[in-house]
Amino acid sequence: MKSFVAASLLSLIPSVLSKTVTYDFNVTYTTANPDGQFERRVIGINGQWPIPTIDIEKGDRLIVNLVNGLDVDTSLHWHGLFQNGTNAMDGPGKVTQCSLGPGQKMTYNFTINQPGTYWYHSHIKGQYPDGIRGPLIVRDPKGPYADKYDEEVVISLSDWYHDENPPLLAKFLSVGNPTGAEPVPNSALMNETQGMPFHVRPGRTYMVRLVNMAAFAAQYFWIEGHTMRIIEVDGEYTEEAEAEMIYLTAAQRLSFLLTTRNETTQNFAIVGSMDQDLFDQIPDGLNPNVTGHLIYSAARPLPEPAFVDAFEPFDDFTLVPYDNEELWGEPTYSFALEVMMDNLGDGANYAFFNGITYVAPKVPTLYTALNAGNLSLTPEIYGRDTNPTVFKHHDVVELIINNNDPGKHPFHMHGHTFQLAYRSDVDAGIFNTSDDSIEFAKMPMRRDTILVNPGGNVVLRFRADNPGVWLFHCHIEWHIESGLIATFIEAPDVLQKTQTIPEDHLAICRQRNDPVVGNAAANAEDYLDLTGQNLSPAPLPAGFTARGIVALVFSVIAAFIGLAVIALYGSQEFKHKAA
């Protein structure tokens, strides 16, 4: 990530000019009815929903004073921000901090040197679909496209459930849902509403920042009568690329330039359409679409969107990074994650990377890494079911993901963007490392959330230049619940020398009586002794256990005795005859 290092060095110079932006966020319940179908309780901030869009400039310091006004845990994650040097601010509960309990306070405080389109959301199990999700925009007045547009606009896409997440989750992850069918959203939203107006002036160019904040649904997005020129994905500038239709998975972002027409005689539909391939069953009456309008003239009618014959979205694999960074050289660490779904002993359906379904440790993984001394390079101390992998500083890591599941998965990595060296088609199977006909992209596109095709594979590369503990997970919120998460521990030895935990973060844990030192099992005496670590439910019993054998033997014996008695009774006939 040469470019990033350079950028952060440069940013030291204008830092005198940069400002500090402070937000006081009290997370509270409120109510909302964004799709006009159902009023429900939502999680908002300071009594408001949708929650504010954080809008800052590259180089600014962001301070968020967070108060948890809910009756459940919360936290905030700044999706896509590298947090280089500030790993403790990343936000996932039990990973880089203790979860923020009801009534507790903490401060997130970090400098942002990455321009681009991001978002922030709770990183506590299943919480953000209830409303605590919002765009985070880092403007770049000196960016390469800064003089190509007149105005910036944010459009968020999302999906919406009429039920709150906790009951949906209880049903999803239960014996009653053995196929792991994910709850299907009730509606699609655009800027957390429907019928969004986008007033434009003719002959201008807008930079539209598109954020998908969905729990589950990817969306196809298009603007009738207009072509989009893609310039950024997930905070990485790209060379301009024209697109008629965009496919954005949950958690992906994309910016495009939109040049308006010169005449104002007509308005145009802006359409988001949820990818229904993701849904196991499509409920009756589901409207997968959300429509907004590009309004040139308020006096003109707002057209209904036209039907499309087929979805033919732009393939983000073809994008070229603006800095023309080439594929990073021979990997020094290469590994694969096998994705699959299966049922465990409690009958529920879980998701697995390499046979492990994620279970949070007792001590936040970052705290373990900082306190484990030399053992921090030993993956075992982070717990079996956090699925840990340790990288050395400046490793060039090659990560192969083999999706053995017939579903699409948007995989997201914290703390990095990665190069998409290769992405297979649907059902290509496991990536074949010895197949010479497979060609990697020369100048691969970089982003932090990538779609993996059903039954397909991808090859990602990244540089381990950001010491810290970073999650790698599917960004379908349901799959986070069912454990499709791995923990990457990057250069923990360097981390120990350069980073510490802020006192107010440690205070949260102490107030909750959560341990802050020790391995995944909270054993601070012997980091290699993981007795008592949190583990996933036992696997399903295999075939005949002792119980089954006993049952079968008894049944057979019962049947044989029964037959003997019948024969005995039947043989009376002989006696009677004889008499």
Partner 1 sequence: MVNVFAVPVFFIVFRESLETAIIAAILLSFLKKTFDTPDSDRAAYVRLRRHVWLGLIAGFILVLAIGGGMIGAFYRLGVDAWAKSESLWEGIFCLIASIIITIMGAAILRVSKLQSKWQKKITRALQASNKDTTFGEKLEKYALFILPFITILREGLEAVIFVGGVGLSFPASAFPIPVITGILAGLLIGFIMYKGGNMFHLQIFLIISTCFLYLVAAGLFSRGVWTLEMYEYGKLVGGDVAETGAGPGSYDIRKSVWHVNCCSPQFNGGGGWGIFNALFGWQNSATYGSVISYNVYWIAVIAYFLFMYFREQKEFNGSARSDSDLEADNGKGVVGDKTGVAVDEKST
Residues that bind partner 1 (CB under 8 A): 175-179, 181, 281, 342-343, 345-347, 349, 540-541, 543-545, 547-549, 551-552, 554-555, 558-559, 561-563, 565-577, 579
Q: Which helix or strand (DSSP H or E) is residue 478 part of?
A: helix 477-481
From CA 351, how far away is CA 358, in angstroms rounded? Answer: 8
Q: How far is the CB of 406 from partner 1 (least distance, A)?
A: 13
* Least distance between partner 1 and beta carbon 460 (Å): 30
Nearer to partner 1, 9 or 566 (CB): 566
Torsion of CA 367, 371, 375, 378, to 10 degrees: 0
| Cα–Cα dist 75/64, whole Å | 11
As a three-state string, the secondary structure of 423-463 is ECCCCCCCCCCCCCCCCCCCCCCEECEEEECCCCEEEEEEE
CA 183-189-195 angle, to 5 degrees, is: 145
Token pair 């959330």 in the structure block, residue: 449
Q: Kindly tell me which of 528 and 540 has the beta carbon lying closer to partner 1.
A: 540
Give least dist CB 567 to partner 1, A: 5
Nearest residue (CB) to partner 1, 264 versus 343: 343
Closer residue to partner 1, CB minimum distance, 178 or 373? 178
Give the other-Cβ count within 10 Å of 309's Cβ.
5
Find the helix or strand (DSSP H, E) in which 232 lies: strand 228-233
| CA gap 159, 476 in Å, rounded | 11
Based on CB atoms, which residue is closest to partner 1, 13 or 568? 568
Distance in Å, CB of 566 to partner 1, minimum: 6
Nearer to partner 1, 140 or 182 (CB): 182
Closer to partner 1 by CB, 179 or 531: give it: 179
Neighbours of 500 (CB within 10 A): 11
Specify burial of residue 266 (Cβ count, 10 A radius: 0-12, 13-18, 19+).
middle
Q: What is d(CA 389, CA 490) in angstroms, rounded to the nearest whole number?
A: 8
Closest to partner 1 by CB, 17 vs 579, is 579
- Among residues 245, 342, 370, 223, the alpha carbon closest in space to that of 292 is found at 223
Smallest gap, in angstroms, from Cβ of residue 401 to partner 1?
Answer: 23
Q: Which is nearer to partner 1, 307 or 574 (CB)?
A: 574
Residue 170 or 552 with smaller CB distance to partner 1: 552
Shortest Å distance, C-beta 32 to partner 1:
28
> Rg for the chain (alpha carbons), in Å?
27
Q: What distance in Å separates the CA atoms of residue 61 and residue 59, rounded to the nearest whole number?
A: 7
How far CA 3 is from CA of 241, 326, 458, in Å, comes to 21, 12, 24
For the bound state, the minimum distance from the C-beta of residue 277 to partner 1, rounded and expressed in Å, comes to 18
Closest distance of CB 484 from partner 1, Å: 17
Question: Is the CB of 179 or the CB of 513 nearer to partner 1?
Answer: 179
Task: Identify the burial level of 458 via C-beta atoms within 10 angstroms of its C-beta, where 0-12 means exposed, 13-18 middle and 19 or more buried.
Answer: buried
What is the closest distance, in whole angstroms, from the C-beta atom of residue 557 to partner 1 in the complex? 9
- Three-state DSSP state, 128: helix
Least Å distance, CB 184 to partner 1, is: 13
Least CB distance from residue 479 to partner 1, whole Å?
17
- Least distance (Å) from partner 1 to the CB of residue 178? 3
H-helix or E-strand spanning residue 26: strand 20-32
Cis preceding-peptide flag for 50 (omega within 30 of 0): yes
Q: Which is nearer to partner 1, 47 or 541 (CB)?
A: 541
Identify which of residues 282 and 566 has a Cβ nearer to partner 1 in the complex. 566
Does the CA dihedral 566-572-577-578 come out positive or negative?
positive
The residue among 16 and 579 lying less far from partner 1, judged by its C-beta, is 579
Strands 197-199 and 289-295, bridge-based pairing = parallel
How many C-beta atoms lie closer than 10 Å to residue 24's C-beta? 11
Q: How far is it, in rounded angstroms, from Cα 209 to Cα 134?
A: 13
Shortest gap between Cβ of 548 and partner 1 (angstroms)? 3
Tell me the C-alpha distance between 238 and 255, whole Å: 10
Cβ 570 to partner 1 shortest distance, Å:
4
